[in-house]
Chains A and B, each alone.
Chain A
């Protein structure tokens, strides 16, 4: 693939795409030489410069080290727009609105419980519907669904799905303000709620993990993390609800952009002024999907706790199955940031990027205010995941953002050509990792070879100051949806 874009090395961890043509701001990629070269080989850098052409964008069109070629916006993209003349773009959030991860800790030491891991994985896969197209057993009627997507996780915990202190460890206290279920189309409801209002399905993966290494003792203690601890990570999103909302608004906004005289370098960048009817409606429906995605992860947490209780014959409370944190990596939100010495309210899009806030920031939950925001970075099945903490520098460099994962280097089909699902399963089992997958081919798509080196991605974030390493977690068991 040709790459005519010029790249200027600002630091070994930050590269600039100079402002040319109709770009309103430069592009800026946080990466080392190797990662930026990978991004340059595909069309990801072109996508970073396309986003820089959108109205109202401030500072720069940013990309995190796990950047890869997406559609419209690159995956790993961060872009902030002024409220008065800026835009909001469904493509800048993605189809899987509020896709994210949560980390659940325990007070179990892996050396005491390793023998139980295969049984635990089996029980988790029995309790939590995984796989494409599978529904869940927990159902709500329409009125209840409206409550859930307006009032978020606190409403669920009131209903008995989770603990009251769970909401202290979820972004926004578990409820994203501004959701308006009246704006949801019938189709969005049908796709999202599988007609009968199921929850708990569609996980991307659930992993039982071991805390392999601690980098920051103080922060780890604040997050309740210790070496050789058994933890569990859930990765899932807003399913058909988010997909349908994005589908509908991407179509609507192609027309809006034309009417508003916005020149789109790529139709998938379709957007509307933040203050327009369509812009406001998109935000209010996106907010529904945000609450829905978090609720989904909350219900899964409830089922995880029941699974642990069954296997260990001990209450979830006694096992210390507390939530470390829940973060979303596909979102747009209104935030205040300093731009050119001035405090501005901005609409920050993160598509495959997470927030990374320093100690003392008002959006960091009280329990972590002194330590900084926990950042959870899920890895691929064969290597590792990370727990990081937010930094002051992220606020000045990246609107308080850092990476969201390893980032793909191989397409799904290329990964399948490289390795068969069952081969991968036996290889992982040789490494002592128990694997359950809905379908062998979905397993092969997620082969470790298909991803960038997560250690490298996290290291670049650390060196660039976007986040700091707290702990490295390795998989003991994986359930792949």
Chain B
């Protein structure tokens, strides 16, 4: 099973992420998002950034998880490549991303993602596999 695929949208771009578990689908959605931002192979796993978000439901938690990682990316100037969701309850998510501070000599930013949106947001389980879809404003 591949980790994610890119969804085409006229103005924006989305990610359809897959997982054997819901947590894994969330992790792959984050991987998909950072793959849009940069060449993920150029990122080294140096530092861990933890994330804890609360929201009304699972879909909103997914958006919040991604927006929190975007906030870390922009405000701390980091690129992340490996993700773990350690706790996923109905209204709370705890996880982390591992990566490093942007180094202009090694990293090229390929896009500017403004936010993960609620538009066409969807999490579903089919035949034992999880799928999460989210559209970004780029």
Contact = CB atoms under 8 A, between A and B. Distances in A.
Contacts of B64: 251
Nearest to A195: B75
Contacts, number: 106
Interface residues of A, number: 44
A21 to B, nearest CB: 19
A99 B6 CA distance: 26
Given A71-B119, A95-B137, A439 B109 contact: yes
Contacts of B138: 412
Contact of B8 (A70, A202, A414, A442): A414
A191 B75 contact: yes
Given A439-B108, A442-B110, A72 B119 contact: yes
A297 interface: no
Contacts of A13: none
Q: Which of B56, B119, B121 has the most CB of A within 10 A?
A: B119
A132 interface: yes
B10 interface: yes
Interface string B1-36: 000001011111100000000000000000000000
A41 B45 CA distance: 43
Interface string B122-138: 00000000000001011
B88 interface: no
A243 B138 CA distance: 10
A479 to B, nearest CB: 16
A96 interface: yes
A480 interface: no
A405 B57 CA distance: 37
Interface string A189-202: 01100110000001
Contacts of B8: 411, 413-414
A410 B117 CA distance: 20
B60 to A, nearest CB: 7
Contact of B137 (A71, A191, A251, A414): A71
A387 B85 CA distance: 51
Given A94-B137, A442-B110, A268 B118 contact: yes
B9 A69 contact: yes
B118 A68 contact: no
A71 B12 contact: yes
A477 interface: no
Contact of A132 (B63, B111, B135): B111
Given A71-B12, A411-B8, A266 B119 contact: yes
A413 B13 contact: yes
Given A133-B109, A247-B67, A412 B13 contact: yes
Contacts of B67: 247
B56 A95 contact: no
Contacts of B6: 413
B135 A68 contact: no
Given A72-B119, A240-B74, A268-B117, A410 B111 contact: no
Nearest to A202: B112
A439 B110 contact: yes
A160 interface: no
A75 B11 contact: yes
Contact of A72 (B60, B110, B112, B117): B117
Given A95-B115, A268-B118, A251 B10 contact: no
Contact of B118 (A44, A95, A255, A267): A267
Interface residues of B, number: 34
Contacts of B59: 267
Contact of A411 (B9, B74, B112, B118): B9
Q: Which of A44, A243, A442 has the most CB of B within 10 A?
A: A243
Contact of A68 (B11, B60, B77, B112): B11
A69 B114 contact: no
Contacts of A133: 74, 77, 102, 109, 112
Contacts of B55: 251
A336 B110 CA distance: 43
Contacts of B49: none
Nearest to A264: B118
Contact of A410 (B10, B109, B115): B10
A412 B109 CA distance: 15
A434 B11 CA distance: 26
Interface in A262-289: 266-268, 270
A252 B60 CA distance: 11
Given A69-B10, A191-B71, A191-B74, A441 B117 contact: no
A91 B63 CA distance: 15
Interface in A190-217: 190-191, 194-195, 202
A251 B63 contact: yes
A437 B59 CA distance: 36
A75 B10 CA distance: 10
Contacts of A75: 11
A108 to B, nearest CB: 33
13 contacts: A69-B9, A71-B118, A91-B118, A133-B102, A191-B74, A191-B75, A240-B74, A240-B75, A255-B56, A266-B119, A409-B10, A411-B11, A442-B111
Interface of A: 42, 44, 68-72, 75, 91, 94-96, 131-133, 187, 190-191, 194-195, 202, 240, 243-244, 246-247, 250-251, 254-255, 266-268, 270, 408-414, 439, 441-442
Given A72-B119, A95-B137, A412-B13, 7 more contacts: A72-B117, A131-B109, A133-B109, A250-B117, A251-B55, A267-B59, A439-B110
The 4 closest A-B pairs by CB, nearest first: A71-B119, A267-B118, A132-B109, A95-B114
